[in-house]
Structure 1
Amino acid sequence: MLTITVKLLIWSSFISIYLVNKTTLAQPADFIAYACENASNYTRNSTYERNLDSALSALPSTNSGFGFFNFSAGQGNDIVNSVALCRGDVNSTECRSCLNDSMIKIRSSCPNKKEATGYYDSCLLYYSNQTILQQTGFKFGRILFNTQNTSDVNQFNSVLRPLLADLRTKAAAGGPQRKFATANNATGPGFSTIYGLVQCIPNLSESECNDCLEDSIKEIPNYMNGKVGGRFLLPRCNYRYEIYRFFNESAGIISPSPPPPPVLQPSPPVQLPSSPPGTTVYMFL
C-alpha cells in the first residue's frame, strides 16, 4: 500500500518509552498513518497530561465486547476523551496487542499534543479534548492506495461502487455495538474478485455512520481512481478495498480485555523512523 497526503513528512531516529516502574517496553511497529493536532499543546506535568495518563490507562478495560473502547477523564478544558476501535475481524489477542502498541506509539508520535490519532492495520486510537462525535469532515483523514492500476477503470468502478454502497448500508445499520461489514462477491476486470471492508465507531447513529462513509467513498475518483486497492482512514469511519482477501471471513466477537496496564510515562519530544522509500502522506486538516 502507498500512503498519500498534502505534505510529505520524513522522520528519523528511533524512540523508546518506559512504564512508570521504569521497565523498558519493546518498540512497537510504526503506525501505517497518524495525525497530530498542531494547534493544541499541553505542558508537562499539567492537569491535561495527568488526565491523558488516566484515560489511556483505563481505556483497555472498557471493551464493549466487540473491540470498541471509550473512556473520558477530567472535565472542562482539561477533559480527555479517548476512543479505540479494533477492526471487526481481528481476534481478542490481536486487538489487545494493537491497542497496547497504540497507547505507546501515540505519545511518542504526537508528543505534548492535546489531540491525536494513530492508525494500525488492526486498530485505531484517538484522544482529544473534543468529543469524537463532534469531528466532521476529513480532519485527521489519511488515504492509502495500491500502486497497481486496473486494466479497465470504468468496469472496475462499476463493480466497486455498488459493493461499497452495499457494505456502507449494512455497516450503518449494525446497531450500537458493532458497525462493520465485509464482502467479496464482486467481479472486476479480468474476472478479478474485489474484496471490501467498511467500519464505523459504533456509537455513531445509523445516519452519521452512513454519511461518514458516503463522504469518504466519494473521494475515490480524486485519489484512488483506477487503483486496484485503497483505503480511507478517519477516526469516525474507514473503508478498504483490494483484489485480494485481506480480512478474516470467520471473524467472531472480541472478548472483554484484561485489567488495564500501568500508566505510561509521557515521552519527550522525539522523531520517528523514516517512511518507506517512495511513500508520501496526504493530510486532511
Structure 2
Amino acid sequence: MATTGVLILLLLLAPTPFLAAADFCDNVKAVGAALSKNASSSPVNFATSTFGQAPDVVYALALCLGDGPVGSACGDCISNWFAQLNQTQCNKVGANYGGCIVVYGASADILAAPSNATGGYGDNTPPFQDWNIRNVTTGDVPRIVNLTRELLVGTAAMAATTTPKLYATGVMDMERVTTYPNVYSLAQCTPDLSADDCSACLLRLLGMVNSTMALRMGGQMGVTRCYFRYEASHFYGAQPMLSLPSSPPGTTPTRTKRRSMLWVIPVAVVPLAAAAFFFFICYCRRLKRQRKGMLII
C-alpha cells in the first residue's frame, strides 16, 4: 500500500504532457524575440524560427495578416502575445489568431508546408474558429448563403495567386440582389506556400463550414498555414481587391446593347433612302421632258 501511495503521489506531482519545463519556456521566449524581429523586417511580415537543443527545441512561425499591423507594429503584435505566456510553465503548443498569427510547438512538423491537397501539418490540424452569434434571418436566406460562399471561394482563389503575400480581400454587393448588407471577406496563406498548396489549404477550411455555420453573419477559421474571415461589415481598412457580382444582375451586356443600336440605324435610314430615290425618279422624268420640249408646269 505504501508503494502504491508513493506512485500516486509521484503521478500527481509529475507535470502533464501538455506543460513544459523551464528550459523549454526559456526557448519559447527566445523564439518569440526572434520572430518579432524577423517578421517586422520582412517585406511580407512573415518569419519562422527554431531555437534550443533536444529535448527542448522550439519550432515557431509568425505572420501578420494583410489587413493588420506592418513593420514595427507587426513585431509588437508578436512580442505582446509571447509576453502574455506563462514564463515558468508554458504549454508545449501555443497559437494565436488575431492581428498576427503565431504558432509554436515542440515538433518540427509546425514548419512543414502541406505536401499535397490533403497532407501536411498546416493543412491537417483542427482549425481555430470563431463565429458571429447572429444568424442570417432576413431577405432571401439561401441566396445570401450561396453568394457568401461564392465570395469566399473567389477570395481564396485570388489569395492563392496574389504574390508575394498570398493575400486577398473581397466584397459581395448584396444590396444589388437582396435586402442584406454587403459582405466583406479576407483570405491569406503563409507566403512560403505554392499556389496549389495555398488553394488546397483554404478550400479545405471552406469545406469544413457546415450548414449551421453557413447561416452565421460572420466568422473566421484558420490553421497554421492559412486563414479566412468574412463579415457583414467592412472590417479591414483598404478597398476590396475583388468585387462581386462582376456586373449588376438584370442588366444587358454591352455587346448586346451595341448590337441593338445597329438595328436602329436601318429603321432611320431606309425611309430617307426611299424618299431620295422617289425624288431622283421625278427629277429624271422632268429632265427628259425638258429635252423633248414637253415641259409641263
TM above 0.5? yes
C-alpha separation in 2, matches of 1:111 and 1:162 = 45
C-alpha separation in 2, matches of 1:51 and 1:227 = 40
C-alpha separation in 1, matches of 2:160 and 2:100 = 19
- Who is 2:135 aligned against? 149
- Who is 2:95 aligned against? 117
Equivalent of 1:172 in 128, 150, 160: 160
2:79 equivalent to 1:100: yes
Residue identity matched to 2:104: Y
- Who is 1:32 aligned against? none
Task: Look up the SS of the partner of 1:170 in the other structure.
Answer: helix
Cα deviation for residue 207 of structure 1 reads 1.8
Task: Look up the SS of the partner of 2:86 in the other structure.
Answer: helix
C-alpha separation in 1, matches of 2:212 and 2:47 = 31
Residue identity matched to 2:184: Y
What is the alpha-carbon root mean square deviation over aligned residues? 2.5
Task: Look up the SS of the partner of 1:204 in the other structure.
Answer: coil
Cα deviation for residue 126 of structure 1 reads 0.8
> Could you give the per-residue CA deviations for residues 154-198 of structure 1, whole angstroms, max 9, x where no partner exists?
1112211221111111111233x4111001144264152110001
Task: Look up the SS of the partner of 1:235 in the other structure.
Answer: coil
C-alpha separation in 1, matches of 2:87 and 2:197 = 29
> Could you give the per-residue CA deviations for residues 32-68 of structure 1, whole angstroms, max 9, x where no partner exists?
xxxxxx7443212x3x334323211211121222221
C-alpha separation in 2, matches of 1:103 and 1:153 = 42
C-alpha separation in 2, matches of 1:115 and 1:72 = 14
- Who is 1:158 aligned against? 146
C-alpha separation in 2, matches of 1:249 and 1:211 = 26
Tell whether the 8 Å contact from 1:212 to 1:237 is kept in structure 2 after alignment: yes
Tell whether the 8 Å contact from 2:21 to 2:88 is kept in structure 1 after alignment: no
Residue identity matched to 2:127: G
Cα deviation for residue 231 of structure 1 reads 1.0
Task: Look up the SS of the partner of 1:248 in the other structure.
Answer: coil
- Unpaired runs of 5+ in structure 1? 1-37, 252-285
Change (3 A) 1:233 1:223: farther
C-alpha separation in 1, matches of 2:191 and 2:185 = 19
Equivalent of 1:190 in 179, 188, 203: 179
- Unpaired runs of 5+ in structure 2? 1-15, 113-119, 241-297
Equivalent of 1:85 in 63, 76, 79: 63
Tell whether the 8 Å contact from 2:31 to 2:60 is kept in structure 1 after alignment: yes
Change (3 A) 1:58 1:96: closer
Structure of larger gyration radius: 2
Tell whether the 8 Å contact from 1:229 to 1:243 is kept in structure 2 after alignment: yes
Higher share in helix? 2
Task: Look up the SS of the partner of 1:90 in the other structure.
Answer: coil
C-alpha separation in 1, matches of 2:238 and 2:181 = 18
Change (3 A) 1:108 1:140: farther
Cα deviation for residue 78 of structure 1 reads 3.1
C-alpha separation in 1, matches of 2:151 and 2:239 = 19
Residue identity matched to 1:170: M
2:206 equivalent to 1:233: no
TM-score by length of 2: 0.63
- Who is 1:262 aligned against? none
Change (3 A) 1:52 1:100: closer
Higher relative contact order (CA 8 A, sep 6+): 1
TM-score by length of 1: 0.65
